Amino acid sequence: MQGRMTHEKLMDAPDDWIVMNASRPLVGDMYSEGDFLAGRFYVAIDPKSEYAVQNVDQNNKLDARVVIYASKKQQNDAVLFGEKYAAEYREDAETIDDLYNNLSVKHESFRDKTVSEILAALRNGAGIAPPEMPWSQSTVSKTIQDSQYPDEPDTNSSEKEGPKIGDLTAVDEPLKHIMINARIEELTQHPEVSIHQIETLRSLFSSNHPLNAGIISNGVKFELTGEAPYWDKDLSDVVLPCFEKK
């Protein structure tokens, strides 16, 4: 999936929401029309929404671009990373704006880069390690595969299959971690989830620990086949990988 860098906030949405832009209307939780980036249609997606994965996938099929906010200085540092004549470029410019304008051709070349490539360049330019979050510094990396939708319970089975709301098994890593972090934060508000469980989940996911777990709650079997905790629509049954529900 491709991204577009901008130093302007083109949509009034929460910082941790996923902002996408295209030349046609998109699907999400907040909509607007504005300055042309890859198009005039903007949408913001709440990463905690159960439809977030499906919405991002649908927008990707509509040739949407992920909007990445970065200051002019951050963009300059990104395009000059590894540049043989970086020092000369900087010496020839009196201000950040001058340097930004002088590098217009290099900035233009980033229009064809994927989100993963853009983020890597921004991190290299800043000389920092990849951030965990928030959304403004991390996003979708490659083309998102078809999202998996909730399965219907098998009423004839001795163990009914629980819903898989927002299954993330087919989602690329940066978006997957956005969803995971958003859901873990929401789990902190659930009375049946202990601080120890939350911290253990964070530790497992931060180390990309592969998980395969399942629990049975109230006669309903829940399975986890990816790297995300999930729950039913009412949050009445929380699925915690590697934990038994008391």
Give the strands of the sheet with 220-224, arranged side by side. 160-161, 220-224, 213-217
What pLDDT, in 10s, does the model give residues 38-64? 889 999 998 888 788 888 888 988 889
Please state, in angstroms and rounded to a whole number, the distance separating the CA atoms of residues 76 and 103.
7
pLDDT top residue among 109 and 145 = 109
* Burial group, residue 37, by CB count within 10 angstroms (0-12, 13-18, 19+): buried
pLDDT value of position 122: 85
What pLDDT, in 10s, does the model give residues 60-82? 888 899 888 888 999 999 899 88
What pLDDT, in 10s, does the model give residues 205-230? 554 444 333 333 344 444 433 334 44
pLDDT value of position 115: 81
pLDDT category, 165, cuts 50, 70, 90? very low
pTM: 0.56
What pLDDT, in 10s, does the model give residues 96-108? 999 999 999 988 8
Taking CA atoms, 32 is separated from 121, 209, 221, in Å, by 29, 38, 41
Instruction: Name every residue whose Cβ is closer than 8 Å to that of residue 46 and which is 6 or more positions away in sequence.
Output: 14, 17, 29, 52
